[in-house]
Amino acid sequence: MDGARAVVIGGSRGIGRAVVEELTGLGAEVGIVSRTPFDAGDAGMQAAAVPAFEIRADVGTAAGRQALLQAWPADWDRLDALVHAAGMNVRKPTVEFTAEEYARILDTNLTSAFEITRALRPRLAAAGQASVVLVGSVAGQVSIGSGSVYAMSKAALEQMARTLAVEWGRAGIRVNVVSPWYTRTGLVAPVLSNPDVVARILDRTPLGRIAEPAEVARAITFLCLPASSYVTGHVINVDGGFSAYGFSPRPL
């Protein structure tokens, strides 16, 4: 990806942080947009990546998205890859969600992806061949107990990708989704701190372990590479076989 320009929304930690490292390692210039500072020493990362620029903004708000566009580097008029990895969750029964929690989850996970992607469309089109990758979740396909609002937002991302892949294909813009299962990030740390829950997760995972951020990031990176130039409108599950597993009469 020498000479390519990429931006990772939510690139300071977790899966987004791992994507920054993968893309940088392949020679891309990578800009980061996030609420929190870029963490060069994030646990599980292989080496320090140096971002081309860093914009601090809460993309889950209209003001934050406007701040992103205002701070966008003037010379970045071409964008080869856009990765949207920003996300949040509140885990509780559906009847207990407040209106504020509902809005905050959808604004962060879905509205930000929609608004930022369409705002950056001219820059993506200017690249001639560009890739948009949205980070979804298997929670958008089956119920995994992560909360209905989070699941709704991730399901909507998949349909957004399919629609934009068709609508923007003639402009040379590919749009895909990578949907992980439980991955060792701060977002799910409270869940993974419970040994009983971890045991249940592993019981439903044919590969028998929790994913590392870099493993998800590599699938995202593939979709940014010229090697995936004819892949658009698809969802790639990085889930250790979870979504393929229905039932086995014998223990895995």
Find all residues with CB under 8 Å of 155, minimum gap 6, and list them: 140, 141
Task: Give the strand order in the sheet containing 173-180.
Answer: 53-56, 29-34, 5-9, 81-84, 130-135, 173-180, 235-238
The yes-or-no answer on residue 102 being catalytic is no
CA separation for the pair 1, 217 (Å, rounded)? 15
Phi, psi at residue 133, to the nearest 5°? -125, 125
Find all residues with CB under 8 Å of 194, minimum gap 6, and list them: none
CA separation for the pair 248, 231 (Å, rounded)? 32
Degrees to nearest 5, angle at CA 228 with 222 and 234: 90
Q: Do 1 and 26 meet the contact criterion of CB atoms below 8 Å apart?
A: yes
Find all residues with CB under 8 Å of 142, minimum gap 6, and list them: 243
- The strand ranges marked E within 181-242 are 235-238
Catalytic residue among 102, 150, 182, 245: 150
- DSSP 3-state assignment of 133? strand
**To which H or E segment does residue 177 belong?**
strand 173-180
Q: List active site positions.
A: 150
